[in-house]
Amino acid sequence: MKTISTFAALMAWTVLAGAQSRDCDTLSHSLLQVSGFALALDDFSRTANSDEFMKQLPGVAQNDSKFLAVFKPIVAKQFGGDLMKKAVETRLRARCKPAQMSEALARLRTPSIGRMLALEAEATTPAGKDKIRKYAQIYQIAPPPEDRLDAVSALDQSSGLTDFTVDSIIAVMRGMLSGSIGDSELAEQLQDYRTSMRTQVQTGVQLSLLATYHGVTKADLRQYARELNSEPLKTVYAQMKQSMLEVFEERARAAGEDLRVQTAPKSD
């Protein structure tokens, strides 16, 4: 009887675990899509593979046709949008709490948050990026009122966008350095530049936010900031950002390793 009871318990656990796994598969995928993080990964991939990005490479690399002939295919291989989205979903599943994720999805699908997510999605399109550039030029000439800057600053702080952007840059650089030259100590020294980098990044992020939410009232901006800083979105967004940072560094390290192999001196 005890053996039968134990077997029944194990079978029940297997069924429940399988059901939760299926739930987490669906929830992780839906969260990435509905939150706009999937669009952000696609946008990151397009940027990394663009000629504009290649022109920003340091030193002679941007004008070295032989280097670019090697580097561009590596970037395309390691920073593909679909590849990164699958990797992020895998990490989200490992952190999955179905009830928490379901509640987060319900919050994201409310009209007020849905409106903000639609504006964020628009900002990733070519037309949206052109709009941001135009507004940035206008704001530099005629800055918005202080109270609007305060509302945008509160949103930046609650969403952690500036910090996430800086962390993403550091993760990619650290991974690339670690993979290409195998010097983890040098890669870790990147943190020393974080403060100065953050100041520069924050200016660009807040200009982007001002343009993205142009026309949104200050009250709605503050309400959105409160939503992002409240559960369950606070925890679920932190999990998504951490998953993305891990993937950025992993892909950058793989790209660095590919670059090291393909640029190594050929033995006679």
Could you report the per-residue pLDDT of 196-242, keeping only the tens digit for each?
889 989 998 999 999 999 999 999 999 999 999 999 999 999 999 99
Give a yes or no: residue 268 inside a domain. Answer: no
Q: Mark 27-45 as b/e (b = at least 16 C-beta within 10 Å).
A: bbbbbbebbbbbbbbbbbb
Q: What pLDDT score was predicted for residue 183?
A: 65
Distances (CA, A) of 202 to 147, 161, 169: 17, 9, 13
Give a yes or no: residue 248 inside a domain. Answer: yes
The structure's pTM equals 0.86
Q: What pLDDT score was predicted for residue 177?
A: 85
Q: Among residues 150, 154, 194, which one has the least CA distance to residue 174?
A: 194
Q: What pLDDT score was predicted for residue 4?
A: 61
Give a yes or no: residue 8 inside a domain. Answer: yes
Mean pLDDT of the chain: 87
Residue with tokens 């930046």: 156
In this predicted structure, the answer to whether residue 6 has a pLDDT above a threshold of 60 is no
Average of per-residue pLDDT across 106-115? 97
Average of per-residue pLDDT across 100-114? 96
In this predicted structure, the answer to whether residue 16 has a pLDDT above a threshold of 50 is no
Q: Among residues 224, 239, 104, 97, which one has the least CA distance to residue 155?
A: 224
Structural domain total, the chain = 1
Q: What pLDDT score was predicted for residue 13?
A: 45
Q: Which domain holds residue 58?
A: 2-263
